[in-house]
Amino acid sequence: MVYKIIKLKNVNFRYATSPILNLVNINLEINEGEFIGVMGESGSGKSTLIYLLNGLVPHFFKGDFEGSVEVLSNNTLDYEIQDFADKVGFLFQNPDFQIFSPDVESEIVFGLENLAIPKKEMSTRLNIILEEIGITELINRDTTALSGGQKQLVSLASILIMKPQILVLDEPTSYLDPIYSNRIFNILKKIHQSGTTIILVSHNAEILGELAERIIVLDKGQIIGNDKPNMIFSNIEFLNKYKLIPPPITKLFLDLKKRIDFDFEIPVKFSDGISILSDIICR
């Protein structure tokens, strides 16, 4: 049987200063190794939902909390946020929330130092991660003098170097140019293939279409969609209702379908779209 690495049961949450519930009756189970995309309009509760996964809600963000959140079979109410630090790698939407060391190197190795990892291994892991993300030249920089995108990359390095079992990322490419976004995309793909559970909040349907196995859609703090990407992205009424934009390849096929009759599944991955088009052309 597949291990449910995350279990949310009947969760309601209202921030202390909010007049209304910000998460409403959330029920969600995530399998170990699954890649979950989280979408929804601004203010729909995406960040709040993922704050449940390392105990930020309700330990740091206070308010009225009901229900149960189990991560790696531990109820988050029974633990502190730092107990999840090495197990749940968490990348904040705003990189300024994440960085607190004066220089890049100490920021990236901070978590490993806390785990008392031997110096030699720390240095090996550091070099690998710097090379992989492509930020070797930032190693001696002051963290205060980094751009938003550089902060995002350094924060990501500080999380990935810990090799967490669960990776939770809130818009990790929002400040990045297409080259770096693509690099992060490939890193996430590789980490997922190695068995890590990934929860990725993103407005980028193209990335979610390529990577996610399941997409959760939020509206006003409620889960209103929980399905495979091709089911979510080919439902035009649903997309319009919740103001979601599908991946470009899906949009192309949805538009084609209005003009010609075909019976194949609407693709969400670029390579699948190309295969279908080749078949049609070569028929």
Are 20 and 14 in contact by the 8 Å Cβ rule? The answer is yes
48 binds, among ligand ATP, Mg ion, none (CB under 5 to 8 A by kind): ligand ATP
Interacting residues of 142 by C-beta distance below 8 A, sequence separation 6+: 102, 103, 104
**Residue 196 sits in the site that holds Mg ion (CB under 5 A):** no
CB of 44 to Mg ion, least distance (A): 9
Are 182 and 204 in contact by the 8 Å Cβ rule? The answer is no
Binding residues (CB under 6 A) for ligand ATP: these are 15, 17-18, 22, 40, 42-48, 61, 93
CB of 42 to Mg ion, least distance (A): 7
**Residue 47 sits in the site that holds Mg ion (CB under 5 A):** yes
By residue count, the chain amounts to 283
CB of 93 to Mg ion, least distance (A): 5
Rank residues 13 and 253 by Cβ distance to ligand ATP and give the closer one: 13
For helices 119-133 and 104-114, the axis angle rounded to 10 degrees is 130
Q: Which amino acid is at 260?
A: I
40 binds, among ligand ATP, Mg ion, none (CB under 5 to 8 A by kind): ligand ATP
CB of 129 to ligand ATP, least distance (A): 26
196 binds, among ligand ATP, Mg ion, none (CB under 5 to 8 A by kind): none
Interacting residues of 132 by C-beta distance below 8 A, sequence separation 6+: 160, 187
Residues 43-81 as b/e (b if ≥16 CB within 10 A, e otherwise) read: ebbbbbbbbbbbbbbbbebebebebebbbeeeebeeeee
18 binds, among Mg ion, ligand ATP, none (CB under 5 to 8 A by kind): ligand ATP
Binding site for Mg ion (CB under 5 A): 46-47, 93
